[in-house]
């Protein structure tokens, strides 16, 4: 596996004017992988994503100036919690360690502001994501049928 040089991978806040179309396209791709029997509804996703961008919760990750992934990190949770709403690496960049780097960055952001735990929800069919989260120390908190809620104590 090619490991990205950490100084080359950059994070910036998402912007509606330049990122909305690409993030929507990536989400559509992710949705097809995680929920193949369902239809992605762009008309519902765009306002939801827009709200996260306005709150400063959505981050774009670039490698050598090219967008390779994104993260939606909710740090407004009660009781010192953080929640990964969404994390995604563009499929052309799978297998390079970028997903791990992005999740580790989310963990670092949460720790930096004193959060004591991080949660996320993952579809059981997404074996790659589940393996990544487990390798980082996330544990199953609740089985929700086709999904599971996972937690990491910070």
Residue 96 burial (CB count, 10 A):
18
What pLDDT, on a 0 to 100 scale, did the predictor assign at position 3? 55
Give per-residue pLDDT as tens, 67-80.
Answer: 999 999 999 888 79
* Residue of higher predicted confidence among 77 and 138: 138
Give per-residue pLDDT as tens, 91-106.
Answer: 999 999 999 999 999 9
Q: Taking residues 40-53, report their average pLDDT.
A: 95
pLDDT of residue 1 exceeding 60, the answer is no
pLDDT band at 122 (very low <50, low <70, confident <90, very high): very high
For the chain, the average pLDDT equals: 91
Token pair in block for residue 45: 């996703």
Rg, the chain, Cα only: 15
* Residue of higher predicted confidence among 28 and 35: 28
Q: Taking residues 25-49, report their average pLDDT.
A: 90
DSSP H or E stretch at residue 148: strand 147-153
Taking the CA atoms of residue 148, residue 28, residue 126 and residue 145 in that order, the dihedral angle to the nearest 10 degrees is 30
Q: Which three-class secondary structure string do you get for 32-91?
A: HHHCCCCCCCHHHHHHHHHHHHHCCCEEEEEECCEEEEEEEEECCCCCCEEEEEEEEECH
Contact at 8 Å (CB) between 15 and 53? Answer: yes
């Amino acid at each position: 596996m090619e490991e990205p040089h950490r100084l080359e991978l950059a994070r910036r806040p998402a912007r509606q004017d330049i990122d909305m179309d690409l993030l929507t396209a990536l989400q559509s791709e992710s949705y097809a992988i995680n929920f193949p029997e369902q239809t992605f509804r762009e008309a519902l996703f765009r306002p939801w994503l827009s709200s996260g961008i306005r709150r400063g919760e959505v981050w774009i990750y670039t490698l050598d100036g090219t967008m390779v992934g994104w993260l939606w990190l909710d740090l407004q949770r009660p009781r010192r919690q953080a929640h990964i709403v969404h994390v995604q690496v563009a499929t052309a960049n799978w297998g390079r360690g970028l997903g791990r780097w992005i999740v580790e960055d989310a963990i670092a952001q949460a720790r930096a502001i004193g959060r004591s735990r991080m949660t996320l929800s993952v579809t059981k069919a997404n074996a790659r994501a589940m393996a990544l989260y487990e390798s980082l120390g996330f544990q199953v908190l609740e089985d929700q049928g086709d999904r599971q809620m996972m937690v990491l104590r910070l």
